[in-house]
Chains A and B, each alone.
Chain A
Amino acid sequence: MKRLIDLFFRHRFTLLFLFLQTLSLGILYSSAHYQRSKWTGWTSEVENTLFGWRSDLKSYFSLKEWNEQLRQENAVLRSLMKDSHFELYSRDSTDVDTLRNRQYLYRQAQVINNSIALENNTLTLDKGRVHGVLPGMGVLSEKGVVGVVLSCSAHYSTVLSLLHSRFSTSGRVRNSSYFGRVFWPGGDHRRARIEDVPVESKLDKGDLIYSSSHSSVFPPDQLIGTVALIERTAATDFLSGELELSVDFADLNSVYVVQDLMRAERDSLESLNPAF
């Protein structure tokens, strides 16, 4: 007891100071609205922060439950989605435009089978003749060129992937009309080759290669890949190189089947000329 009194006595000035401070703050908070609102603002902020931490912490323990719930909900929602239904008729636009003639018609399709490890890779799409898909149409993803439709059944079609020994298309070098032949030599599913590009094109690493208008399969200016490696064969005036493909075939889900509505006209015209 004596010690306690001693302690109080030793700190009597500090205690007096604190008492007076408390008094003035008491006067302040009991009468001044502005400071009082500030004070209650602070305290509630501190409280809310603490509550926030607590609920954050607690939520960790129920994460598993929530995951389960979310996945169930996801499953229900996914089965409600349009993609979960097999479309028997796809509705195409029938607008009539007298200034422009629609040349390319895009149809959305899902890749339901895919291979990348073989010498000749193909894809299977969930759209077929019923949906208007026909052999010879180009297949694109939002990242670039994928392949050509090979054959169609009523509801499905197979696609000759870019990763196929029989696939070959014309690639145009960025900012120019120089072009070369793009094909896949096998092996790495992210690498293709471009050959027979004229030296004058100054093809360089990092150049983008687009589909050219020479092909009647793909619309022009669809990205194929980026030049990753240049080889120059000494004897010829042509460059060749390796392409980093823009499409990752290992991660291919949604694609578009492109129909060139004016292809018949072009083909019949070009077939008149024996040079093509």
Chain B
Amino acid sequence: MRQLGPIEILQLSGIWIAQVLVLNEVELFSFINPYVYPIIVLMLPVETKYAAVMIISFLLGFSIDLMEQSSGIHAFACTWVGFLRPRLVRLVSTQKGFDFGALSLRDMGWQKFLFYAYSGLWLHHYFLFVVDEHSLSGLFFHLLDATYTALFSLFIILIVQLLAGRKTTAPL
């Protein structure tokens, strides 16, 4: 996403609506609940101000909290993603800096996008599970939980990316 135009905002809202209306009701194998909305934070234009990214991620998480009545855990986890986003971007950048057009599958290519999105999702899921469980032992066993739930979330994101990328002119 190169800049935040009305179409992009519509697309991101689409992800949010999908998360709230559909994916929150999904419970694969009765315990995997995919969360795709952090990708909204991850895919904001590269130029977006750091502070704005963090505030957006907080508000985004908070809105999910409101819909799920989960009081603060999504805001907590999502703010982490916003906070760590520049570090993740640096990881997929070359030495010259970030030289892709946008943070999307089309511009970054498979390898980098998968790494970037998966890292972000994993962090979000991990912090979400840990703050939800609120126990010290959770710090360990949620490492694994986050690993496969993030895998499933990423899978859904890829499907959406591939479908949306083909039909719309605006690159997602």
B and A form one assembly: yes
A102 to B134 Cα, complex, angstroms: 68
Q: Does A181 contact B (CB under 8 A)?
A: no
Contact B134 A13 (CB under 8 A): no
B135 engages A38 (CB within 8 Å): yes
Task: Tell me the residues in window 120-167 of chain B with beta carbons closer than 8 Å to chain A beta carbons.
Answer: 131-132, 134-135
**Is there a chain A Cβ closer than 8 Å to B44's Cβ?**
no
User: Is A28's CB under 8 angstroms from B131's CB?
Assistant: yes
- Chain B neighbourhood of A29, CB < 8 A: 72
Contact A28 B71 (CB under 8 A): yes
Q: Does A61 contact B (CB under 8 A)?
A: no
**Does A7 make an interface contact (CB < 8 A)?**
no
Give min CB distance, B85 to chain A, whole Å: 11
**Interface size classification for chain B:** 20 to 34
Interface-lining segment among B10-18, B20-28, B30-38, B55-63: B55-63
User: Which chain B positions have C-beta within 8 A of A38?
Assistant: 134-135
> Known: A16-B51, A17-B54. Is A23-B134 also a contact (CB below 8 A)?
no
Task: Tell me if A35 counts as interface (CB < 8 A to partner B).
Answer: yes
Which one of A12, A13, A32, A39 contacts B71 once the chains associate, using CB atoms below 8 Å?
A32
Partner of B75, one of A16, A27, A32, A35: A27
CB of B71 within 8 A of CB of A34, answer no
Taken residue by residue from 65 to 88, chain B's Cβ proximity to chain A (1 for < 8 Å, 0 otherwise) reads as: 100001111011001101100000
CA distance A197 to B23 in the complex (A): 89
B50 adjacent to chain A (CB < 8 Å): yes
> Closest CB-CB distance, B61 to chain A, in whole Å?
7
- Binary contact readout A174-215 vs B (1 if CB under 8 angstroms, 0 otherwise): 000000000000000000000000000000000000000000
Docked Cα-Cα span, A39 to B62, in Å, equals 21
What is the CB-to-nearest-CB distance from A39 to chain B, in angstroms, rounded to a whole number? Answer: 7
| B50 / chain A contacts, CB cutoff of 8 Å | 13
Are the CB atoms of B54 and A28 closer together than 8 Å? no
A115 to B83, CA, bound (A): 83
Q: List 27 A-B contacts (CB under 8 A).
A: A12-B51, A13-B50, A13-B83, A16-B54, A16-B55, A17-B54, A17-B79, A17-B82, A17-B83, A20-B55, A21-B80, A24-B73, A24-B75, A25-B76, A27-B62, A27-B65, A28-B71, A28-B72, A28-B76, A28-B131, A31-B71, A32-B71, A34-B134, A35-B73, A35-B134, A38-B134, A39-B134
Q: A24-B76, A26-B72, A27-B75 are in contact. List 10 more A-B contacts (CB 8 A).
A: A20-B58, A20-B79, A24-B62, A25-B72, A27-B71, A27-B72, A28-B71, A28-B131, A32-B73, A35-B131
The 3 closest A-B pairs by CB, nearest first: A28-B72, A27-B72, A24-B75
**A interface vs B, CB < 8 Å?**
12-13, 16-17, 20-21, 23-32, 34-35, 38-39
